[in-house]
Amino acid sequence: MSEEMLRLHELNVWYRTYGEGLGRRRRRQVLFDVSMEMRKGEILGLAGESGCGKSTLARTIMGTHRLYEGERFCADPHPQMVFQDPFSSLNPAKTIGWLLEEPLRVDPTRDYTPQERHDRAREMMAQIGLTESLMDRRPAELSGGQRQRVCIGAALMCAPGLLVADEPVSALDVTIQAQILELLKTLHQEMNLSILFISHDLRVIYNFCDRVLILQEGRIVEAGPCGQVYRDPQAEYTKKLLVASGIRT
Protein backbone atom coordinates (compact mmCIF):
# COMPACT_ATOMS: atom_id res chain seq x y z
CA MET A 1 0.00 0.00 0.00
CA SER A 2 1.30 3.49 -0.88
CA GLU A 3 2.26 6.00 1.78
CA GLU A 4 -0.15 8.45 3.32
CA MET A 5 -0.21 11.96 1.82
CA LEU A 6 -3.10 13.53 3.72
CA ARG A 7 -5.18 12.70 6.77
CA LEU A 8 -7.99 14.59 8.45
CA HIS A 9 -9.71 13.29 11.58
CA GLU A 10 -12.86 14.83 13.05
CA LEU A 11 -12.06 18.21 11.54
CA ASN A 12 -14.43 21.01 12.54
CA VAL A 13 -14.00 24.38 10.86
CA TRP A 14 -15.47 27.80 11.65
CA TYR A 15 -15.59 31.31 10.25
CA ARG A 16 -15.68 34.38 12.43
CA THR A 17 -18.81 36.45 12.06
CA TYR A 18 -20.21 39.50 13.83
CA GLY A 19 -23.54 39.32 15.61
CA GLU A 20 -25.78 42.01 17.04
CA GLY A 21 -24.08 44.54 19.22
CA LEU A 22 -20.96 46.56 18.61
CA GLY A 23 -17.99 44.31 17.80
CA ARG A 24 -19.70 41.19 19.11
CA ARG A 25 -17.84 38.22 17.63
CA ARG A 26 -19.40 34.91 16.84
CA ARG A 27 -18.33 31.74 15.06
CA ARG A 28 -20.22 30.01 12.27
CA GLN A 29 -19.37 26.36 11.77
CA VAL A 30 -19.03 25.28 8.12
CA LEU A 31 -17.38 21.83 8.34
CA PHE A 32 -18.46 19.12 10.75
CA ASP A 33 -16.39 16.10 11.89
CA VAL A 34 -14.68 15.65 8.52
CA SER A 35 -12.47 12.55 8.43
CA MET A 36 -10.64 11.42 5.30
CA GLU A 37 -7.33 10.11 4.06
CA MET A 38 -5.43 10.28 0.79
CA ARG A 39 -2.54 8.15 -0.43
CA LYS A 40 0.55 9.41 -2.23
CA GLY A 41 0.04 9.40 -5.99
CA GLU A 42 -3.75 9.28 -5.71
CA ILE A 43 -6.24 11.51 -7.54
CA LEU A 44 -9.05 12.12 -5.08
CA GLY A 45 -12.25 13.88 -6.10
CA LEU A 46 -14.29 16.13 -3.81
CA ALA A 47 -17.82 16.81 -5.01
CA GLY A 48 -20.84 18.70 -3.74
CA GLU A 49 -23.12 21.62 -4.50
CA SER A 50 -21.98 25.24 -4.28
CA GLY A 51 -21.75 26.41 -0.69
CA CYS A 52 -21.28 22.93 0.82
CA GLY A 53 -17.78 23.75 2.11
CA LYS A 54 -15.48 22.37 -0.61
CA SER A 55 -13.30 25.48 -0.93
CA THR A 56 -13.18 25.93 2.85
CA LEU A 57 -11.93 22.37 3.19
CA ALA A 58 -9.30 23.08 0.52
CA ARG A 59 -8.05 26.18 2.34
CA THR A 60 -7.88 24.29 5.62
CA ILE A 61 -5.86 21.52 3.98
CA MET A 62 -3.56 24.16 2.49
CA GLY A 63 -3.05 25.68 5.93
CA THR A 64 -4.42 29.10 4.96
CA HIS A 65 -7.56 28.75 7.10
CA ARG A 66 -6.64 28.08 10.72
CA LEU A 67 -9.88 28.37 12.67
CA TYR A 68 -10.40 24.65 13.14
CA GLU A 69 -10.23 21.82 15.64
CA GLY A 70 -9.28 18.22 14.97
CA GLU A 71 -6.36 16.46 13.34
CA ARG A 72 -4.79 17.68 10.10
CA PHE A 73 -1.75 15.86 8.71
CA CYS A 74 -0.13 16.55 5.34
CA ALA A 75 3.07 14.80 4.27
CA ASP A 76 3.88 17.71 1.96
CA PRO A 77 4.95 20.79 3.97
CA HIS A 78 4.30 23.06 0.98
CA PRO A 79 1.23 21.87 -0.96
CA GLN A 80 0.18 24.06 -3.88
CA MET A 81 -3.19 25.15 -5.23
CA VAL A 82 -4.73 25.90 -8.63
CA PHE A 83 -7.88 28.04 -8.68
CA GLN A 84 -10.97 28.28 -10.87
CA ASP A 85 -10.27 31.61 -12.55
CA PRO A 86 -6.84 31.68 -14.22
CA PHE A 87 -7.07 35.37 -15.08
CA SER A 88 -7.56 36.65 -11.54
CA SER A 89 -4.84 34.25 -10.30
CA LEU A 90 -2.12 35.91 -12.40
CA ASN A 91 -0.59 39.37 -11.97
CA PRO A 92 -1.59 41.13 -15.20
CA ALA A 93 1.45 43.42 -15.10
CA LYS A 94 4.02 40.61 -15.17
CA THR A 95 5.25 38.42 -18.01
CA ILE A 96 4.62 34.69 -18.10
CA GLY A 97 8.33 34.03 -17.55
CA TRP A 98 8.36 36.27 -14.46
CA LEU A 99 5.23 34.56 -13.09
CA LEU A 100 6.77 31.12 -13.47
CA GLU A 101 10.00 32.19 -11.83
CA GLU A 102 8.29 33.85 -8.85
CA PRO A 103 7.77 30.63 -6.80
CA LEU A 104 11.51 29.99 -7.01
CA ARG A 105 12.27 33.51 -5.73
CA VAL A 106 10.33 32.82 -2.54
CA ASP A 107 11.14 29.10 -2.20
CA PRO A 108 12.07 28.62 1.49
CA THR A 109 14.07 25.47 0.82
CA ARG A 110 16.87 26.90 -1.37
CA ASP A 111 18.23 29.93 -3.22
CA TYR A 112 18.15 29.87 -7.02
CA THR A 113 20.37 31.93 -9.29
CA PRO A 114 18.63 34.02 -11.98
CA GLN A 115 19.89 31.59 -14.62
CA GLU A 116 18.55 28.60 -12.69
CA ARG A 117 15.14 30.27 -12.39
CA HIS A 118 15.06 31.08 -16.09
CA ASP A 119 16.10 27.57 -17.11
CA ARG A 120 13.50 25.98 -14.84
CA ALA A 121 10.80 28.28 -16.24
CA ARG A 122 11.74 27.26 -19.79
CA GLU A 123 11.53 23.59 -18.81
CA MET A 124 8.13 24.13 -17.22
CA MET A 125 6.81 25.86 -20.35
CA ALA A 126 7.57 22.67 -22.26
CA GLN A 127 5.97 20.51 -19.56
CA ILE A 128 2.71 22.47 -19.65
CA GLY A 129 2.57 22.46 -23.43
CA LEU A 130 3.36 26.12 -24.17
CA THR A 131 5.97 27.50 -26.53
CA GLU A 132 8.95 29.37 -25.11
CA SER A 133 8.01 32.43 -27.18
CA LEU A 134 5.08 33.08 -24.82
CA MET A 135 7.39 33.77 -21.87
CA ASP A 136 7.56 37.47 -22.76
CA ARG A 137 3.78 37.82 -23.07
CA ARG A 138 1.41 39.00 -20.34
CA PRO A 139 -1.67 37.09 -19.14
CA ALA A 140 -4.11 39.21 -21.15
CA GLU A 141 -2.35 38.11 -24.35
CA LEU A 142 -3.06 34.43 -23.67
CA SER A 143 -6.24 32.40 -24.03
CA GLY A 144 -8.08 31.07 -20.98
CA GLY A 145 -6.66 27.60 -21.49
CA GLN A 146 -3.13 28.94 -21.84
CA ARG A 147 -3.52 31.00 -18.66
CA GLN A 148 -4.68 27.94 -16.73
CA ARG A 149 -1.63 26.05 -18.00
CA VAL A 150 0.53 28.86 -16.61
CA CYS A 151 -1.27 28.64 -13.24
CA ILE A 152 -0.63 24.90 -13.13
CA GLY A 153 3.00 25.41 -14.12
CA ALA A 154 3.55 28.06 -11.44
CA ALA A 155 2.04 25.75 -8.81
CA LEU A 156 4.43 22.97 -9.82
CA MET A 157 7.65 24.99 -10.07
CA CYS A 158 8.82 23.88 -6.62
CA ALA A 159 7.80 20.25 -7.25
CA PRO A 160 5.11 19.83 -4.56
CA GLY A 161 3.82 16.42 -3.60
CA LEU A 162 0.21 17.57 -3.25
CA LEU A 163 -1.71 19.73 -5.72
CA VAL A 164 -5.13 21.02 -4.67
CA ALA A 165 -7.15 21.87 -7.78
CA ASP A 166 -10.25 23.90 -6.89
CA GLU A 167 -12.66 23.80 -9.87
CA PRO A 168 -9.71 24.19 -12.27
CA VAL A 169 -11.67 23.60 -15.48
CA SER A 170 -15.16 24.94 -14.71
CA ALA A 171 -14.42 28.35 -16.28
CA LEU A 172 -13.25 26.77 -19.56
CA ASP A 173 -15.19 25.44 -22.54
CA VAL A 174 -15.55 21.69 -22.95
CA THR A 175 -12.76 21.22 -25.49
CA ILE A 176 -10.25 23.17 -23.38
CA GLN A 177 -11.42 21.33 -20.26
CA ALA A 178 -10.42 18.03 -21.84
CA GLN A 179 -6.99 19.40 -22.75
CA ILE A 180 -6.33 20.69 -19.22
CA LEU A 181 -7.47 17.41 -17.67
CA GLU A 182 -5.17 15.50 -20.01
CA LEU A 183 -2.31 17.80 -18.99
CA LEU A 184 -3.01 17.16 -15.30
CA LYS A 185 -3.07 13.42 -15.92
CA THR A 186 0.31 13.60 -17.67
CA LEU A 187 1.86 15.73 -14.91
CA HIS A 188 0.39 13.40 -12.29
CA GLN A 189 2.23 10.49 -13.87
CA GLU A 190 5.48 12.32 -14.61
CA MET A 191 5.80 13.96 -11.20
CA ASN A 192 4.08 11.32 -9.05
CA LEU A 193 1.66 14.01 -7.92
CA SER A 194 -1.15 13.55 -5.45
CA ILE A 195 -4.12 15.61 -6.65
CA LEU A 196 -7.16 16.67 -4.65
CA PHE A 197 -9.58 17.58 -7.43
CA ILE A 198 -12.56 19.71 -6.38
CA SER A 199 -15.53 19.95 -8.71
CA HIS A 200 -19.30 20.13 -8.83
CA ASP A 201 -19.20 18.17 -12.12
CA LEU A 202 -19.59 14.48 -11.32
CA ARG A 203 -18.90 13.46 -14.92
CA VAL A 204 -15.49 15.10 -14.83
CA ILE A 205 -14.71 13.49 -11.47
CA TYR A 206 -15.70 10.03 -12.76
CA ASN A 207 -13.35 10.28 -15.74
CA PHE A 208 -10.45 11.85 -13.85
CA CYS A 209 -10.36 10.61 -10.26
CA ASP A 210 -9.58 7.33 -8.50
CA ARG A 211 -11.87 7.90 -5.53
CA VAL A 212 -14.53 10.46 -4.64
CA LEU A 213 -15.78 12.14 -1.47
CA ILE A 214 -19.30 13.60 -1.44
CA LEU A 215 -19.72 16.67 0.76
CA GLN A 216 -23.16 17.85 1.86
CA GLU A 217 -23.60 20.93 4.02
CA GLY A 218 -20.16 20.54 5.55
CA ARG A 219 -20.31 16.80 6.15
CA ILE A 220 -18.88 13.90 4.15
CA VAL A 221 -21.86 11.67 3.42
CA GLU A 222 -20.20 9.17 1.07
CA ALA A 223 -16.71 8.05 0.05
CA GLY A 224 -15.25 5.32 -2.11
CA PRO A 225 -13.87 4.37 -5.52
CA CYS A 226 -15.65 6.32 -8.27
CA GLY A 227 -17.01 3.21 -9.99
CA GLN A 228 -18.47 1.86 -6.74
CA VAL A 229 -20.04 5.14 -5.63
CA TYR A 230 -21.54 5.84 -9.04
CA ARG A 231 -22.91 2.30 -9.50
CA ASP A 232 -24.26 1.85 -6.01
CA PRO A 233 -24.59 5.16 -4.12
CA GLN A 234 -25.62 4.75 -0.49
CA ALA A 235 -26.51 8.32 0.46
CA GLU A 236 -29.71 9.89 -0.84
CA TYR A 237 -27.78 13.08 -1.48
CA THR A 238 -25.33 11.23 -3.75
CA LYS A 239 -28.24 9.73 -5.69
CA LYS A 240 -29.71 13.22 -6.11
CA LEU A 241 -26.42 14.60 -7.44
CA LEU A 242 -26.05 11.73 -9.91
CA VAL A 243 -29.59 12.25 -11.19
CA ALA A 244 -28.99 16.00 -11.54
CA SER A 245 -25.83 15.24 -13.52
CA GLY A 246 -27.73 12.94 -15.88
CA ILE A 247 -25.66 9.94 -14.79
CA ARG A 248 -28.59 8.13 -13.15
CA THR A 249 -32.31 8.25 -13.72
Q: What is the full per-residue pLDDT of the chain (249 aa) written as tens digits? A: 579 999 999 999 999 987 665 556 789 999 999 999 999 999 999 999 999 999 999 999 999 999 999 999 999 999 999 998 888 889 999 999 999 999 999 998 889 999 999 999 999 999 999 999 999 999 999 999 999 999 999 999 999 999 999 999 998 999 999 999 999 999 999 999 999 999 999 999 999 999 999 999 999 999 999 999 999 999 999 999 999 999 987
> What does DSSP say about strands 68-74 and 219-225: parallel, antiparallel, or unpaired?
unpaired
Burial class of residue 204 (count of CB atoms within 10 Å of its CB; 0-12, 13-18, 19+): buried
Claim to verify: residue 166 and residue 242 sit in the same structural domain: yes
Domain boundaries, position 134: 87-159
Last residue in a domain, options 134, 159, 184: 159
**pTM (2 decimals)?**
0.93
Burial class of residue 37 (count of CB atoms within 10 Å of its CB; 0-12, 13-18, 19+): middle
Claim to verify: residue 70 and residue 168 sit in the same structural domain: yes
Claim to verify: residue 63 and residue 129 sit in the same structural domain: no
35: CATH:
3.40.50.300
User: Total structural domains in the chain?
Assistant: 2
Last residue in a domain, options 137, 159, 181: 159
Claim to verify: residue 170 and residue 99 sit in the same structural domain: no
Last residue in a domain, options 138, 159, 180: 159
Claim to verify: residue 108 and residue 135 sit in the same structural domain: yes
Count other Cβ atoms within 10 Å, centred on residue 155: 21
